[in-house]
Amino acid sequence: MADIGTALARLSSLAAENPTSISDHVRLSGDAVYFADLAKIVGDERGEVIEVTSTSAEETKQKLLDNPADLLSLIKYVDNTPVRVSVPAPPSRYMRGSVVTDFSKENENELRADGLLINAGIAYTPLDDLSLAGLEREYIYKTDSSTPPSMSPITVAIIGATGDLGLRVIRRFLSQEYSPSQISRVKFFTRNPSSAGAQELKTLGAEPIEGEVTAAALKGTDVFISLIGGATDLDYMNKYAKEAVDAGVKVYIPSEYGIDHRDNSDVHHEVFDNKEAHHHYASSISGGKVKIVSLYVGLFLEDTFSLGATLGIDTKNAIYTSFGSPDNLITFNSREDISSSIVRISVLAAADPNSVPDFTRINGSAVSYNQLAALVGKARGTEIKVVEVEDAESKKLLSTNDPLARFWVALRYIYGHGVTDFTKDNANEILNPGQNYWKWKNMEDWVEETKGV
């Protein structure tokens, strides 16, 4: 209150001297905390545990409409969409649960050395009065869907965590940025807890669970993530998804991390078909109670040159071959960026299932075969030739009986036909608004590091 009084006095003095020196709507942020953090601070001081609960956006909205005076929960609307709600008065205590009261990034603390404040409460925009005995007004609220509402730290369980991507994901979950404020526990399933991979995860603080995925082992888990290979048997994927649903997990992220096969009608492969069938199965058995998020990343940035000729990228012989137009863009994402995105999806979706799309694309960088050849050619001081294979010829190669060979042909065909161009349709600003959480790694950086080999 003393800060507010000082700010009001300072505001009055400045405005009297020069009315245009101060914004009409001024915010002050003395401090900003999540409800979960506040509960922990008070609980530590009192030597007890204070439980923090929240409700979904739709449930909260209905409560607000039914009985605004009794609402003690959270208002959260997504996609940065303004939502009109009729209420008896500005619901200040309700809005404490929403990010509209987060003034930590947008305030006038530094506008003048002494600090300023005009509205010692919530920033809201009143609209036209409603003629209901003069008691109701209509207000419009706009929230930032990139920021999770206050919530208790969550528990995460992962299958397929002992690989390179799993190590990165767990390291990110257990970083100081997320643990313990947003992540309480990270568990991983392994058939061999004594393996080098499992031991490395344990040193990070992850907890091994020996054996197969079961509902009992997943009890108390908020987010279940699959990082197993894409060629995994469909029945096996469906089995562990069923266990996750039976355990009551809030969020399930199945093993995708590649092309968005939903948009491809020309080329089919059993790997893509199984992934799509698995998503349909998981959705059907969850009955809408589990948030399922499929993450599409295009091509792993680090695989661009290591796979080399398999993708028609033959730097050694200075020739790149595209199955389709070499001008079509292809999305690439680094393993670190994918890992960071998985963690952000987990945190956001656990707090509010509507804050993340069911089918989420990310775009760290996008280049065409022609652009890639130019980048590598410049880095190596040589010219890279680009050859386009006609559709008729590439489709003949798709008829091979070898599933692995057909898989790579299918990918190259998809790359060459613009299906993996995620530049315009992606969730970058939902997961990493303004690159405030991390900086996306681009192809220019990778070419500079590797020289195309």
Tens of pLDDT, residues 350-373: 999 999 999 999 999 999 999 999
Tell me the chain's radius of gyration from C-alpha atoms: 26
Please give the pLDDT value at position 63: 58
**Predicted pLDDT of residue 148:** 54
Q: How many residues does the chain have?
A: 453
List, in sequence order, the alpha helices (H) in 129-208: 164-173, 196-204
- 229-272 pLDDT, tens digit per residue, is 866 789 999 999 999 999 999 999 999 999 998 876 678 888 99
Percentage of the residues of the chain whose pLDDT score is greater than 90:
59
Block residue for tokens 């809408």:
288
Return the half-sphere exposure (C-beta side, CA atoms, 13 A cut-off) of residue 44.
5
How far does CA 445 lie from the centroid of its chain? Answer: 23
Which one, of 158, 289, 157, lies nearest residue 219 by Cα?
Answer: 157
Cis omega (within 30 of 0) for bond into 180: yes
Per-residue pLDDT of 83-124, as tens digits, reads: 333 333 333 333 344 444 556 666 666 543 333 333 333 333
Both structure tokens of 392: 């008729």
Global pTM reads 0.69
Classify residue 439 by its DSSP letter.
Answer: P
- DSSP secondary structure string for all residues of 103-124: -SSS--TTTSTT---S-SS---
Backbone angles phi, psi at 417, to 5 degrees: -115, 20
Span between the terminal Cα atoms of the chain, in Å: 62
Give Cα separations from 186 to 83, 194, 243, 290, 350 (angstroms): 36, 18, 18, 19, 14
CB-CB contact of 180 with 148 (8 Å): no
Q: Could you read off the pLDDT of 286-307 as tens digits, one per residue? A: 999 999 999 999 999 999 999 9
DSSP 8-state code for residue 149: P
pLDDT band at 221 (very low <50, low <70, confident <90, very high): very high
Whether residue 334 is predicted with pLDDT greater than 90 in this model: the reply is yes
Question: Residue 95: its pLDDT value, please?
Answer: 39
What's the CA gap between 164 and 365, in Å, rounded?
21
pLDDT tens, position by position, 172-191: 999 999 999 999 999 999 99
Span 439-450, pLDDT tens digits: 999 999 999 999
Give the per-residue pLDDT at 61.
Answer: 56
pLDDT at residue 198 tops 50: yes
Confidence of residue 157 (pLDDT cuts 50, 70, 90): very high
Instruction: Give the model's pLDDT for residue 439.
Output: 97
Token pair of 9, please? 């006095």
Q: Is 280 helix (H, G, I), strand (E, B) or coil?
A: helix
Rounded distance, CA 261 to CA 300, Å? 16
In whole angstroms, give the CA distance from residue 203 to residue 188.
13
The H helix count followed by the E strand count for the chain is 15, 17
More confident residue, 152 or 159: 159
- What pLDDT digit, counting tens, does each position of 410-435 carry? 999 999 999 999 999 999 999 999 99
pLDDT for 178 = 94
Residues 39-88: tens digit of each pLDDT: 777 777 777 777 666 666 566 556 555 554 443 333 333 333 333 333 33
Q: Averaged over 186-198, what is the pLDDT? A: 95
Both tokens assigned to 427: 């969730």
DSSP letters, 322-373, are: EES-TTS-EEEE-HHHHHHHHHHHHHHHHH-GGGS-SEEE--SEEE-HHHHH
